[in-house]
Amino acid sequence: MKIAITGAAGNLGSLLSEAFLDEDVTLNLLYHKRPLRHNLLSNSKVTPLQVDLAKPETIVPALQDVDAVVHFAGVLFKGNPQKFLPITNTQYFKNLLSAAEECKVKRIVLVSFPHTEGETTPDHPATGRLDGNPISVHAQTRHEEEVLLMRKQDRFRCIIARCGMIYGKDIIMMDACKWFSRHWIMGIWKKPTWIHLISKDDFCSALKQTVLNPNAEGIYHIGDDGKQTLQEFVDEACRYWGTRKPWRMPDWMVYTAAWCMEQWSLLTGSKSPLTRDFVKIGHVSYYGDTSRMKTDLLPNLKYPTFKDGIETM
């Protein structure tokens, strides 16, 4: 099987690419500007391909003879996401689908998140609906991608992997939390927010099966068995790291910090670890029904709760 992975130089794209090296597959790894990791470049299973999703003519050669595409690529950690996400999420995904259709790709896997279904909780989990009403631009544009994909079910085997928050060493969000807490500047809002978690090992195992299981199809929620709030999770993570527990802050202070980081990002061209849209999406509780995941993709979790997997952080 030949698999193409977009955003393969990114944090999660490179993680999944490395996980596939143990399988009997070949990989077309698509990247834009940042180069692939050295261990991927040096592997005989890998063909690196520089692609600009804004230019459909660069995508088609990368998808020749490809059986399945896993789509990660996107722009994050940048100020004013409402200006670029409709292009870098929605339009670029349209370009990818058109190229995949031309190349007769059989399977498309879109990596998404439960926020596209709106606010959900362990008592009322996301169930794989497409009629959600998300409030953040990140979730709105990813929801548009989900709808675009599912309209192509007559052309591809369409799969949406709505993943919970991924934790583990070398995950950007986790490393940022650790750095901020070490420097006593980690803060979080007061209102409890439910989150669904998944270890990076279980994330890779489940996502690989969206490609390798010939019967996988439709919407899957990728998460573990734990039930906790964001506040409980970061408090426990900081205890494990031996760093300061996050300050509890009023919302206006969190949004102000995000605004300052966005302005710095826009002025310098650097990444913004926090944006106001991240804060907006972060306030939304999310939890998915993982029954389909356990039936089709991952019957047994390596780390059923984050407390089982906290040493991976």
Note whether 292 and 275 are within 8 A (CB).
Answer: no
**What residues have CB less than 8 Å from 104, skipping those under 6 apart?**
none
Quote the number of domains for the chain: 1
State yes or no: pLDDT of 269 exceeds 90: no
Q: Which of 194, 176, 193 is nearest to 185 (CA)?
A: 176
Host domain of residue 294: 2-165+199-222+286-303
3-state secondary structure 10-77: CHHHHHHHHHHCCCCCEEEEEECCCCCCHHHHCCCCEEEEECCCCCHHHHHHHHCCCCEEEECCCCCC
CA dist list (Å): 46 to 14, 62, 63, 211: 12, 12, 14, 17
End-to-end CA distance of the chain: 33
pLDDT value for 75:
64
64 within some domain: yes
SS3 113: coil
Reported as a single tens digit per residue, the pLDDT across 73-85 is: 666 666 667 777 8
Which structure tokens are listed for 310? 């906290």
173 within some domain: no
Reported as a single tens digit per residue, the pLDDT across 89-148 is: 899 999 999 999 999 999 999 999 999 999 999 999 999 999 998 988 889 999 999 999
Indicate which CATH number applies to the domain containing 71.
Answer: 3.40.50.720
95 within some domain: yes
pLDDT value for 93:
94
pLDDT value for 257:
87
Strands (E) in 217-282, as ranges, are: 218-222, 228-229, 247-249
29 within some domain: yes
Reported as a single tens digit per residue, the pLDDT across 157-214 is: 999 999 999 999 989 889 989 999 999 988 999 999 999 999 999 999 999 999 999 9
The reported pTM is: 0.93
281 within some domain: no
